[in-house]
Amino acid sequence: KRRDYNDVFEPPAFTKSVTLKSSTHLFFAEALSRLQGLAALVPAAHAAYRPLVSDGLMFFLGQLPAPRFEAIIAEQLALPPNASNLRRLIALFRQCPTLHKLGQVVAHDRRLDLELRQRLQTLESLPPTTPIKKVLPQIRQATRHIAGLKVSQRALAEASVAIVIPFTWPDAPAELPQRGVFKVLRPGVVEKLAEELPIWSQLGAYLEERCVVHGLPNFSFRDTLESVARLLAHEIRLEQEQAHLAEAQNTYGDWPQVLIPKLFPFCTPKITAMERVDGHKITEIAASPWSLRQRARLVVDALLARPFWQSGAFHADPHAGNLMITPDNRLAILDWALMTQLNKTQREAVMRLMLAALSLNNAQVCRAVVELGSVRDPAALQAAVAESLTAVRWGRFPGFDWLTNLLDRLASKATANFPNELVLFRKALLTLSGVVADISEQASVDAVLLESGAVHFFRHLSTRLLAPTQSRHAGIQLSNTDLLGVWLGAPATAWRFWFPGQ
């Protein structure tokens, strides 16, 4: 007990066996207590979950190898005694790449406190702390045959798994820029991920047990965290990111307002060499309300509308640190390590689900959900859909925001399981919605999708008129039969509106 720290100090519950001198036991317990205090960052509206967050954090730390665990404790003790919880959280996240990525994912979730969101957003692009000498030999070895290449002695930025180092290549071919960057994995990050990722699947089961202890609603942590862990493993596969960049070039190459970095010919499985993009994070540039609204619309159009109506390949990590505005006012989309692909059948099911919601048709919404995943509890599914349709009856548009809330509710209560690609799509959509709101409160994700959908509908109108009535290949993932059914079902929709449950 230290009177100047906490007059009612109780050692935190912790089961990890750590060899310490007796003189350090107190400081060890104090550091754990400070880490447990991070649960206070959970918003007041969700205060009941603070004990669960604390339990989960202690479990995660307890599964780490002793040297890493002790390094985390040492850094927490090195912070000033009056350091804020936010400062302690950032310090912890920087030492754990999976937690770092989690912080980036929720940094624009507007259900969180504004100050917490702002601090988490600093994780999107951090000043480099990795000594440059630890990565330069790897770069020189990979590029020793490239004449005239000049590599900077200072890193440009650092993220959850990689460090970015600028270079110039005066002898670059005409089709390539002379300025570029190397993206190299941070030393030790592969080993850290190998240590952390298996913990996530164990953590899911542990949190489900603790929900019972704390009297909290059942939440399917296990499936969600295992899916996220599998997807995070792709973060360190730079050769996969290079393939994604090439695919993105094909998708956006004809769009002057969008910039995808070009790849240089000296990429390797461990190093990505790509075009250097000048600009600022998309949420940091001041502009008129009209300009901000247009900027937000461009983000939705590029990252959601175009892939949804066309290829189905989505950037799966669209946090603000990966989105830049260039000096010539283009949207630059960076970091293509994570992508998710919704096939045409899945996108058609999404559209039928939202169309059924517009018609207030519970049975059709349930059938569309079954097409998207596997349902464990049909009765709970019907109840959740009925509750979501009540919001539609009261004026909420059944767009992507409504859809995300429904899918989250079903997943959180273990009512349904969804495939990995849909889990990642939900995560990306949540991140994107937060970024759009941070750019402009006046922008609407659903409004942009409706407008772009209308453009696609009329662009393919002649094809639609000649297509079979059941065909869904004319622009908007819906057949003429689907649309005719909504029109013919209008009287039934009106009945369901005025007499729900009848």
Amino acid at 296: A
First to last CA, the chain: 64
User: Taking the model in full, what pTM does it have?
Assistant: 0.82
Q: What distance lies between CA 208 and its chain's CA centroid?
A: 23
Q: What DSSP designation does 49 have?
A: G
Are 92 and 102 within 8 A, CB to CB?
Answer: no
How far is it between the farthest Cα atoms of the chain?
83
**Residue 430 CB partners (closer than 8 Å, separation 6+):** 105, 109, 404
Q: Residue 405, Cβ neighbours under 10 Å: how many?
A: 14
Q: Residue 153, Cβ neighbours under 10 Å: how many?
A: 9
Instruction: Supply 496's token pair.
Output: 């369901």
Residue 475, sorted as left (phi over 0), alpha (psi -120 to 50) or beta, turns out to be left
Query: Which candidate, 79, 81, 41, 45, places its Cα nearest to that of 57?
Result: 41
What pLDDT does 319 receive?
87
Are 198 and 172 within 8 A, CB to CB?
Answer: no
What pLDDT does 26 receive?
56
Half-sphere exposure of 41 (CA within 13 A, CB side): 26
Q: Please report, in tens digits, the pLDDT of each residue of the chain (502 residues total).
A: 333 333 433 444 454 554 544 445 556 677 777 788 888 888 787 788 889 989 999 999 989 998 998 899 889 888 888 888 888 888 898 889 888 887 777 777 777 777 777 777 777 777 788 888 999 999 999 999 998 999 999 999 888 888 999 999 999 999 999 999 999 998 989 999 999 998 988 888 898 889 889 998 777 677 667 766 776 788 889 999 999 999 999 999 899 999 999 999 999 999 999 999 999 999 888 888 999 999 999 999 999 999 998 888 999 889 888 999 999 999 999 999 889 999 999 998 998 999 999 999 999 999 999 999 888 889 999 999 999 999 999 989 998 889 988 988 888 777 888 888 888 898 888 889 989 998 998 888 888 888 888 887 777 777 767 677 777 666 677 777 877 787 878 888 888 888 776 6
